[in-house]
Structure 1
Amino acid sequence: MKVHLIGIGGTGMGAVAGLLAEAGHEVRGSDAAVYPPMSDQLSELGVPVMMPYAEDNLAWVPDLVVVGNVHGKDHIEVVAAQDRGIPLTSFPAVIGEQLLDGKHAIVVCGTHGKTTTTSLIGHILIEAGYDPSLFIGGVPVTLGRGYRSGRGSEFVIEGDEYDTAFFDKGPKFLHYAARTAVLTSVELDHVDIFPSFDAVRDTFKKLVSAIPADGLLVVCADSPDALAVAKHAVCKIEQYAVIDDGNEPPVEIGWWAQHSEITKSGRVGFDVFRRVAGRVERLEHFESLLVGRHNVANCVAAIAVACARSVPTADIQRGVASFAGVLRRQELRGIAGGVTVLDDYAHHPTAVRETLKALRKRYPKRRLIAVYEPRSATSRRKTFQAEFAEAFAHADEVVVGRLFDPSKIPPADRFDPERLALDLHRSGTKAAYVPDVDTIVKQLAESAAPGDIVCVLSSGSFDGLHDKLLDEIGDSMRPAHREDMAAVRNVLAAAGLEEPARDDQAVSFFVLRNEHGVVGCVALEVLGDDAILRALAIDPRFRGAGYGWMLADTAVNQARWRGVRRIYLLTETASEFFAAKFGFRVVDRSTLSKQVAASEVFTRPAGAHQVAMRLDL
């Protein structure tokens, strides 16, 4: 089938394009503009992208035109499709009608935690060898894209309650025919389309009532409205929760986490319990790099679903431990001058509160600076004016940016960012309203000190504030992107190192940038409990500035956070550096784990005469 997608550069539309292309359909699309990483993803798939929007983009006469929910009936390509008699549909309908046939749909829904929980369930199933298909509204770190085409029976989908298209005002999740569903929470959101909280509840009631009698609903017991909605289900219901004390929860709760604590590595450890035939059973102890009470709850939901799909406990434990998170959820954007810059998608007061509380636990005794852009349809309205002040009070300092595109919101309904800063200041939290992004960057670069955590919260790009701040502070270390890899290869060549540095390996690399661009790099390849540190290189022009130690230290700390127990490396000339600075020791190759010994680094001929070293964490 020939399929044309209007707005193909969006996260959801791009993911659907990938699923359709890998299913054998001929796919093309259009957009006003497409940027990395989506442009790279579509290029790799061989999907042509036409820019800008135009009638002639449909000259190839597709069989079907997929319309995103941001495009209306007057869109130039919508009109052109109707004039040509080409059927219109939405991407949720395409998933439901073209991609779900014969699959067991696991649909994750709720106001909060959908992307993380969907990604974690998918990761557990992948680690257990189930080969699932995935559709996610974000990008899991290790997957690198928001979709996956698998041959297994499970299709894990993030189910959004937002409307589907201009011709279909029902929620997206109804198209997915859930057999297993997770309901993480029910709160007021999307006030641009929902006139009341009752309308939100009614939408979720449609979800749970559509689950067949032999299906499963996993619902969070910490959300009273989610529990109320769950009463409309005719299928089996299992409640989950996080229990903060040592007491056994009410009998209605079938899954729960207890004894949660932050480990020395910054990861979270917790015990999971369940009820089996009326008896309490401790399933296992789990560790995760997902910090925060809300994320522990997300883990419990994923564990319950995995058990329902008969995944062995040891595989679930490994999957939870190795899950590296999702981009834009407490995502590390870089470290400069000892200042850690994070990015988070939180734009609802509950999400802001839980994110800041989680960061408090993850980085105790460090100053937490929150930088906020009111950008989403709900956050630009005054609906949660007071609630945002309560949520941001969990930071030490708050910088509030200007309201994004206020012209879209009636003046009487607009959120007041100046008032938020004033309310925080009056309640004892240092806060300022700074409407200009470049001014925010300059002020933070001057005031932020080594050890500070700067968390940027926005549902959009915030005019590139993250990278601007790292550039302003200088000598920053950042996770590499595909577009950095050409510069990485140049650095490796200048340093005389023959190390693999393909574009698809960007997820393993960190780069160091100064005013000259990328001048250093290091890679950390995580293989379960083991990791390989490699490709540590500095442009010869900048040796002696301590860049090598900075990059290696970043890689070692990242390994600790990922739950790695042993780091291996190969070196010809730097064994004394790694031994003195970090405690690595020379080891015999016969002691290597099978995964490390079989890795690309340790099997290539160039490494045959190098010294193997190991650091036990």
Structure 2
Amino acid sequence: MKKYHFIAIGGAVMHNLALALHQKGYEVSGSDDEIYEPSRSRLAKAGILPDEWGWFPEKIDKNLDGVILGMHARIENPELVKAKELGLPIYSFPEFIYNQSKDKTRVVVAGSHGKTSITSIILHVLKDQGIDFDYLVGAQIEGFDLMVRLSDAPIIIIEGDEYLTSPLDRRSKFFHYHHDIGLVSGIAWDHFNVFPDFDKYKDLFRQFMEMTPEGGKLIYCEVDPLVKEIADKLKSEATLIPYKAHPSEIRQGQTILKTEKGDVPIQLFGEHNLQNLQGAKEICLSLGVSEIEFYSSIQKFKGAAKRLELVKKKGNSHLFRDFAHAPSKLKATSDAVKNQFPDSRLISVQELHTYSSLNKDFLPNYAGTMDLADEAIIYLNPHAVALKKLELMDEETLREGFKRPDLRLFTDSQELKKYLLSQNYDNTNLLLMSSGNYDNMELEEIIAKFE
């Protein structure tokens, strides 16, 4: 029985990987200085939740087959120091995923936006068609218990993040997977704190695209100007496959795909999601799925959690929630809802939560991103701003940055909730966008407005 120890086991992907290895029959242990829900309950149910918080070098011994290091851990972590002293194999989770999938066909989905949605569509279609595969995805998907699966399947589908690998490895995660089939959905500046130079950020994707091997496939969104610019200059022996949004039309709030075999109604909507769908289709075709099979499966796909997720619907009023936080994601999401329901009022609420979004120097990138909303609201958590040691922006600064003179700012989640509860939602859509949780704002009473 193989034995692995996780340093910072409580992370979203880390705890899913720990659970996947536990299911595989490996002996798993771990440590963390704090573990939140749902990680805590899921690890406890599997019997691998640490007994107490903190770092315990005595957990590290020569009987381990390896240590898996989370990004949350620091270089001076005592468990990491002990593992180095003993000469144990130390893996970041991307390195470990590659180590477990060297003999598989590796499909890696990259891009500043759309990664999770594209990966989720592929996973849904392959599962619906009865194809065996492993995966790593950055969100919980309906029909999948875990965000990671490792088995003897011949294929693995990986959501490839450009963020840093680990405290020991400052390279982007997606470089470790060595894809056979790669996809790049788009490039838009993100992670401003880690990648302050946009040219260097763009170059990460150039390097990823160049890694596509001879005989491999590179699928890329040709309507993204930065992606197309790189692809046009690429010197590669790989097969290059450009894509753009799947042809469609909207009928009474329903998106219909236009295909050679006829109309196909789907539950997704928005130009960005139609691009994601087409990219996912190209990967599925490359893996042997037919067009007929793809269109049959895609009709049942409801979307990934917090990716234009329909929380509740009442007549012609809808409550959506989305993970959008970067400018390109915010604009694509807000525009998608308004374009899908042009005759309905749209209230767009955005929590600025990440370092980039809370940084005054990055704010001009948000200009025009909420233009189609009938009402634009920003929520800032002063505590989150203070933790990042940034300046709390005022309403006038945000109005200038967003180029939205009527933009409304809230810095108290209860005041925001009170305001949202006061609204009349007849023929109105409410869109809640955040990579955070509005300072743990309870949504039940707001959801009830749509029942």
Q: TM-score, normalised by structure 2?
A: 0.90
Partner of 1:447: 423
Q: 1:43 to 1:239 in 2, by over 3 A?
A: same
Work out which of the residue numbers 352, 368, 372 in structure 1 matches 2:350.
Answer: 372
Query: How many Å apart are 1:86 and its aligned residue?
Result: 3.7
Over 3 Å counting, the alpha-carbon distance change for 1:283 and 1:298 in structure 2 is farther
Residue 325 of structure 1, CA deviation:
0.7
Whole-Å separation in 1 of the counterparts to 2:43 and 2:403: 49
> 1:546-597: CA deviations, max 9, x gaps?
xxxx6xxxxxxxxxxxxxxxxxxxxxxxxxxxxxxxxxxxxxxxxxxxxxxx
Letter in 2 for 1:145: L
- How far 1:442 sits from its partner (Å)? 1.0
Structure 1: state its 5+ residue gaps. 243-256, 273-281, 478-549, 551-617
Q: Does 1:64 align with 2:41?
A: no
| Structure 2 equivalent of residue 405 of structure 1 | 384
Counterpart Cα distance in 1 of 2:108 and 2:159: 6
What CA distance in whole angstroms lies between the structure 2 residues aligned with 1:107 and 1:139?
18
Corresponding residue number in structure 1 for 2:269: 291
Task: Report what 2:258 is aligned to.
Answer: 271
CA 1:460 to 1:475, structure 2 compared with 1: closer, same or farther past 3 Å? closer
Deviation at 1:41, TM superposition (A): 3.4
- Match of residue 133 from structure 2: 132
Distance 1:338 1:438 in 2: 27
Give the corresponding residue for 2:80: 78
Task: Name the amino acid aligned to 1:237.
Answer: L
Alpha-carbon distance in 2 for matches of 1:132, 1:178: 15
Alignment partner of 1:157: what SS? Answer: strand
Distance of 1:212 and 1:394 partners within structure 2 = 42
1:109 match: 110
- Match of 2:243? 240
What's the CA shift for 1:385? 1.6
Match of 1:419 in 2: 396
Return closer, same or farther for 1:101/1:425 CA change in 2, 3 Å cut-off.
closer
Which protein has the larger Cα radius of gyration, Structure 1 or Structure 2?
1
Deviation at 1:232, TM superposition (A): 4.3
Question: Any residues of structure 2 matched to 1:139-538 within 5 Å, and which?
Answer: 139-149=140-150, 151-230=152-231, 231-242=234-245, 257-258=246-247, 260-264=248-252, 266-271=253-258, 282=260, 285-334=263-312, 340-403=318-381, 405-407=384-386, 409=388, 411=390, 416=393, 418-419=395-396, 421-423=398-400, 427=404, 430-465=406-441, 468-471=442-445, 473=446, 475=448
CA–CA distance in 2 between the matches of 1:63 and 1:440?
50
The percentage of counterpart residues that share the same residue type is 27
C-alpha spacing 1:427/1:70, structure 2 compared with 1 (3 Å): same
The separation in 1 between residues aligned to 2:315 and 2:412, in whole angstroms, is 23
Per-residue CA deviation, residues 442-472 of structure 1 (Å, 9 max, x unaligned), is: 121113433432222111122222xx2433x
Give the unaligned 5+ runs of structure 2.
Answer: none
Q: Distance in 1 between matches of 2:361 and 2:11?
A: 27
- Aligned equivalents of 2:38, 2:164: Cα separation in 1: 26
Decide whether aligned partners of structure 1 residues 141 and 436 sit closer, same or farther in structure 2, where only a CA change above 3 A counts.
same
The Cα shift of 1:304 comes to 1.0
How far has the Cα of 1:50 moved from its partner? 4.1
> Contact 2:32–2:54 at 8 Å: present in 1 too?
yes
Q: Deviations over 1:4-45 (max 9, x none)?
A: 112222221122223322333211222333344333433454
- Per the alignment, residue 89 of structure 1 pairs with 91
Quick one: structure 1 residues 83 and 425, their matched pair in 2 at CA, closer, same or farther if it must change by over 3 Å?
A: closer
TM-score (norm 1): 0.67
**CA-CA distance at 1:359 after TM superposition:** 0.9
CA RMSD of aligned residues (A): 2.7
Task: Find the aligned partners of 1:189 and 1:424 in 2 and give their Cα distance.
Answer: 17
Give aligned pairs, total: 446
Q: Which structure ranks higher in relative contact order (CA pairs < 8 Å, sequence separation ≥ 6)? A: 2
Separation in 2, partners of 1:181, 1:308? 11
Q: Deviations over 1:82-115 (max 9, x none)?
A: 4554443210011011x20311001000111000
